[in-house]
Amino acid sequence: MKLILHKKIKCSFIILWLLQPCSLAEAKNKLFTKVTADTTAMNYYSFNDHREIEYSRFLALARSQVINICEKGEVYLKAPDLGKTAEYEWKGPHGFQSIGKDVLLQNLFPEHSGYYTAHVAKAGKEYNARIKLNVFSLPLYKIGKTEFRPSEKVFVATEIIEPETNYSWLDMKGRELSRLPSLELGARLPGKEYYYFRAERNGCAVKSLVEILISAYEAAPKKSVTEMLRSIK
């Protein structure tokens, strides 16, 4: 059985087999590309209508779903309670198995991505469904030098580790200052200033608080070897 999808409140979805897949705030629910299957070997059942339905009717109702979630997030997959005689079995990537009615997937990483299938045996019949889970890694980056002298131009260079990453610099009020990976401010007065650096990739965003320190004094100029020898005498 494929997934029949209807909207429900509180970020949940009623999937007429897998119910209410909820993720963390940064996760986004999007539609599956249609999953192809041998329809002659499958039974289709509407839990809204409480009856079997024809494949043509299923196509009119069904919308396959994919869940996109960020690294370290969680997803709750809940199947309907069909009574004590129903037997449930879940399978997923890397040998994942569960015989419970509901599945809570926590602390997810990209290697947990893949298809999760549900199987139920009820009253001598078998029903099947599957849902795809994509777990995206959080953006990686390195922020360079953040301490400067008063006469020195403030330029904070950021190294982006992964391609196709969107980034921005924000002030403490959340106003966007730049969409470049590095921040250029020019010379500043001595003191500390704070900014946010935000990176986003595949819908997963991270934000870092960056402290920029402007020294209260100029660094003493470096002496040549000759000058150092003279000072010793």
Residue with tokens 């509407």: 46
| Angstrom distances, CA of residue 93 to CA of 52, 97, 103, 113, 187 | 29, 9, 14, 7, 53
Q: What is the per-residue pLDDT for 21? A: 29
Tokens of 27: 């996760």
Residue with tokens 């986004």: 28
Element (H, E) at 212: strand 204-214
Q: What is the spatial distance between Cα 217 and Cα 223, in angstroms, rounded to a whole number? A: 18
pLDDT digits (tens, 9 = 90+) for 54-63: 656 555 544 4
pLDDT digits (tens, 9 = 90+) for 210-223: 999 998 765 555 55
Strand runs (DSSP E) across 92-202, as ranges? Answer: 97-98, 102-105, 114-122, 125-136, 141-143, 147-148, 154-156, 158-160, 166-170, 176-178, 183-186, 191-201
Sketch out the chain's domains with CATH numbers: 5-136 (2.60.40.10), 141-214 (2.60.40.10)
pLDDT digits (tens, 9 = 90+) for 164-207: 889 899 999 999 999 988 899 888 888 999 999 999 998 899 89
pLDDT digits (tens, 9 = 90+) for 75-113: 887 766 677 888 888 888 988 998 888 888 889 999 999
- What count of other Cβ atoms lies within 10 Å of the Cβ of residue 201? 21
Is the pLDDT score of 129 beyond 90?
Answer: no
